[in-house]
Structures are given as C-alpha cells and as structure tokens.
Amino acid sequence: MTTTRLIRFIRRGQRVQLAHVAPDRTLLEVLREDLAATGTKEGCGEGDCGACTVVLGSERDGRMHYEAVNACIRLAHSIDGMALWTVEDLTADPLIQPAGDAAGGDLHPAQQALVDCHGTQCGFCTPGFAMSMFGMYQNHVCRGQAITREMAVRELSGNLCRCTGYRPILDAAQQMQELPAMRVDEAALLQHLKQLALDTQRPEADSTYDAPTTLQALLAARAAHPQAQVVAGCTDVGLWVTKGHRRFERVLDVTRAQELRAVREDGGLLTIGAAVTLTDAYAALVAHWPQLARFAERFAGLPVRNSGTLGGNVANGSPIGDSMPLLIALGAQVELASTRGSRRLPLEDLYTGYRTSVMAADELLTFIHVPLPVAGQLLAAYKVSKRFDDDISAVCLVLNLHVDAGRVAQARIGAGGVAAVPARARQAEAALAGQPWGEAAAAAAGQALQAEFSPISDMRASSAYRRELLAALPLRLWRESRQGTPQALTLHELSPLTLSEEALP
C-alpha cells in the first residue's frame, strides 16, 4: 500500500509536520490553503513574477545557506528537512533577533527599507520583493558584504513590479544594510535542522513522493517505478501542474542523492552532478570561463536558478533551453545510469526529437562532464531575447573556437531556438575548420548556419529574423574578438536595422 510521506520543516524556530499532502501539490498551495500564509501571493503561477517568493534555508559546509525560490512551481515535499520563511515570518520568527547592541524595530530591515524608500504601490508584489531582499540580506549583509546597485539588480531579477518602476525598490535593497542589523540565530537553527534530519532520513515505506539520499537508492527507485514523474528543481514540471493541470500519482525527486549534488574536477574534466542547482553549476562554469558571467545571469531570474538544476535542464531537452547549446559547444558528455550500469555519450547525441531522448525507462541522467578550457580557446555565448532579464531566447548560439597561429584548428558550435532539439552545428564547424580566423571565415560560418537550420516563426521571433541572427552572430564574434570579451545580446540590441554586416560593432 502506498503512502504520502510526511513533510517536516522548521518555521519560526519550530518544527512543522504536515501529513497527507499529495505528491504533486505545490508549496504555494500548501502555504495558502493549509497554513493560511496568504502573504505569499499567487501571481503568474509559472515562476516569472516573483510574487510567491519565499526563502529556504539549509546547512552547507557547517553554516546556513539561504535561497529565494518561487513557491508557485516548487513542490511542497521538496522542502522536507529545510527551514522556511514567508513574509509573515520576518517579524514573527523568534530566531530573527537584533544583532549585537542594535535596537531592533518592528519590521525587518528588508521591510523597513521598502517603507522608507517608498518601494511599494499596489503592494501585490511587495511580499516577494521583501523575501528576495531577506535572502540577499542574510547571504550578503550578514556575511559582511556590501550590497551594490549591480548586485541588487541581479538578485531581484526574478521579481516583477508593474507600479513603482524599480528605482525605489533598488534603493531599498541598498538601504536595508544601513538600518539596525537583525540576524537569524544560525547556531540555534542548525541545531533544529540537525534534529530534523534524524527524522527525515528515516525511510517511509513505498511513499508516493520518493527522495532517495544515495545514488544507489535513487536508481533502485527508478527501476521499481519507471512510470514515476522524475523531478529535480521542478521549474518546468511545476508548469505542467499549474498551467497544464497535470496530476502525478508518484514523484521521484533526484535532488537528495548526495552524489548528484557535488561539483568536482578530475582528469581535465569539470563534473557537475545532475542535482546541482543552476546557480551553483553556472558559478562553477564561470570560474573557468569568466566571459560567461553575463550569460549566466540571464538564465531566468535568481529564484528559478536557485531551484532549477543543470541536470534537469539538460534532461528536459527543450529546444529553447540555454544550457544545452553552451554545453554542446564546450564538448560536454552526459552520463546515464540505471541499476544495469552507466554509459556516457556526447550531449548532442542525447536527443532524438522534440523533448525525447535515448534514455531508457529505467535510466536517469546523473552527471555532466565538461572538458576544462585549453589555451587558444575563443568562447562566446549569445542569448538573444526580447527582454534582458528573465526571458526565453529567440536564438541561443554558442561558438567555441580553438585558434592556433591565426587559424581555426577546431570549432564546436551549439544552437538553440532554431530546431526541434538543441543542436550541434556541424556544417558551420566544418566551414571554419582550418580556415584563417577572419571576416571571410565568420561570414562562411554564418552562411553554413543558415543552410543547416530552418527555424520556425513564433511569438519570440520570425523565421527570417532568426536566420539573420544565425548569419550575423559569427561576424559579431569575429569583430568582438578583435576588441575584447564577447558580450551577450538582447533583441533590442540587434534590431533588424542593425543586423547588416556594416552595422555590427
């Protein structure tokens, strides 16, 4: 007989335990309907607006780590064993206390700063902003790091407001560090989480929400229940629940398997576990390829990156996902595993069609292996979209060239938004191989890209516009390679009037 496992978490310094929560219920539903935490708002229901933002806390290397996430697409069971804060908790949590000799006010600095800076108007989005600012406050201010304007813009990228114009909200994000300090009593909270872990690690017989803590147990669960819906950060599956109204009787969560939560370097490879969040995965990539920093920040908003995983993004196989063109260009391989064993294959060979792959019913994507950079590598990642922040690509093109003595010794190109699957542009690579790196080679690569792909027209861009981008971006890389680091782009930076060769900077 199947059961629904208990959800145990820490809120306001106390243990909360919920029973009989269906495996496909979202955290937002449980907060509003079961716990009457109606300060957390339901806006878009798809992780775009940030009105539902809450903060999760977990232990990492002996200290607390805080993540702002979207409650609307996060499954409730996924917070088992964590600490949770909603906007109501900022003034009601006994573990949030004035720091040192500071005299605490009636509001948390994140809330008080929004009041002082007039950072709210209709107020619907305000709880989400307050929670993103609370996460920012704990991760930066309480660690002695100043909040700059640029940091505030980056870390509030997943919160939208239709009233204020953002300036007063950004002012508030910086102002909160000037107010009397308040901090979470992390020693007490870590002790609470330690005690909670003793219960959450106990197996529950045949639960409909299974979250094994080891890879071996995870693969065994997959073999036993191949029909279960696999989830990682749930940033896409959550949409199937909220927008598609799909129901899942059994869910298999890969994010608790410890082996899949690590990033390591060995044998010239950067190996990223499938359960590593997009935030941490891109931090590891940027550490080796600093030019990817701007590209990484444009992968959705921070709350989505804090929940979503690199493995989930790759396994999902969306043709407009941004991770896959990058990883294809970097020559990444994916590791698939089951109780029968494991196998590796190039990422571009994973997909067989629109959101379909070679994975067997009992297999899971477990690791992504990325070759570390070598001398002479010229890498550029272009994400072209209507908005700079929190938007889906019209075209994502990543070019990775190995230039030796002025010639392209090797080329790898990944493309998204131009085919039914994330694709490797082999014809364009062949057009570059062995050629002097210059305008003629870049133009030939652009022409090969146009011949290789037949993009469709949709709400993001027309087919003709996408084809122009395919021709223009290699030329842009050539010109930027003479001037400095390649930059990410938005559609308004590449309007049809500026796509001609002469107009490219």
Question: Could you tell me the CATH number of the domain that includes residue 442?
Answer: 3.30.390.50
Q: Is residue 475 part of a domain?
A: yes
pTM for the complete prediction? Answer: 0.91
In terms of C-beta distances under 8 Å and separation of at least 24 residues, what long-range contacts does 415-418 make, across chains too?
Answer: 415/325, 415/449, 415/453, 415/470, 416/319, 416/320, 416/321, 416/322, 416/324, 416/325, 417/319, 417/320, 417/393, 417/455, 417/460, 417/461, 417/466, 418/453, 418/455, 418/466, 418/470
In a domain, 228, yes or no: yes
Q: Report pLDDT for 484.
A: 60
Strand order in the sheet with 83-85: 14-18, 7-11, 83-85, 53-60, 63-70
> Would you place residue 173 in the very low, low, confident or very high pLDDT band (cuts 50, 70, 90)?
very high
CA distance 227 to 53: 31
253 vs 30: CA distance, rounded Å = 18
If asked whether residues 410 and 343 sit together in one domain, one would say: no
pLDDT tens-digit series, residues 185-196: 999 999 999 999
The answer to the question of residue 206 being in a domain is no
**What is the phi/psi pair of residue 351, to 5°?**
-95, 140
Domain region containing 359: 211-373
Based on the fold, state whether residues 246 and 388 are members of the same structural domain: no
**Cβ-contact 50, 43 below 8 angstroms:** yes
Nearest alpha carbon to residue 390 among 40, 129, 50 = 50
- Are 241 and 340 members of one domain? yes
Domain final residue, candidates 173, 201, 229: 201
Domain for residue 349, yes or no?
Answer: yes
Last residue of a domain, one of 373, 391, 418: 373
| 253 and 325 share one domain | yes
pLDDT confidence bin for 435, thresholds 50/70/90? very high
Statement to judge: residues 263 and 365 lie in one domain: yes
Q: What is the CATH number of the domain that holds 26?
A: 3.10.20.30
pLDDT score recorded for residue 165: 82
Among 178, 201, 224, the domain-final residue is 201
Rounded percentage of the chain residues whose pLDDT exceeds 90: 83
The strands making up 377-384's β-sheet, listed across from edge to edge, are 377-384, 395-404, 407-416, 423-424
Q: Is the pLDDT of residue 309 over 60?
A: yes
pLDDT attached to residue 389 = 76
Tokens 């990817």: give the residue: 292
Whether 505 has a pLDDT exceeding 60, the answer reads no
Query: Is residue 136 domain-shared with residue 12, that is, in the same domain?
Result: yes
Q: Which pLDDT score, from 0 to 100, does residue 101 have?
A: 67
Residues 34 and 177 in one domain: yes
pLDDT band (50, 70, 90) for residue 502: very low
Claim to verify: residue 474 and residue 390 sit in the same structural domain: yes
R_g of the chain computed on alpha carbons: 23
Give the per-residue pLDDT at 454. Answer: 94
pLDDT digits (tens, 9 = 90+) for 55-74: 999 999 999 999 999 999 99
Same domain, 176 and 227: no
Count of the separate structural domains present in the chain: 3
DSSP string, 258-299: GGGG-EEEETTEEEEETTSBHHHHHHHHHHH-GGGHHHHHTS
Q: Is residue 363 part of a domain?
A: yes
- Residue 299 inside a domain? The answer is yes
Asked if 289 and 296 count as a contact pair (C-beta separation under 8 A), the reply is no
Question: Do 247 and 157 sit in the same domain of this protein?
Answer: no
The pairing of strands 269-273 and 263-266 is antiparallel
The answer to whether position 402 is within a domain reads yes
Task: Summarize the confidence of residues 126-155 as an average pLDDT.
Answer: 96
Same-domain pairing of 413 and 283? no
Take residue 434 and report the two structure tokens written for it: 């062995």
Task: Specify if 125 maps to a domain.
Answer: yes
* Whether residue 53 is found in the same domain as residue 85: yes
Domain holding 351: CATH number? Answer: 3.30.465.10
Mean pLDDT, to the nearest integer, of 280-289? Answer: 97
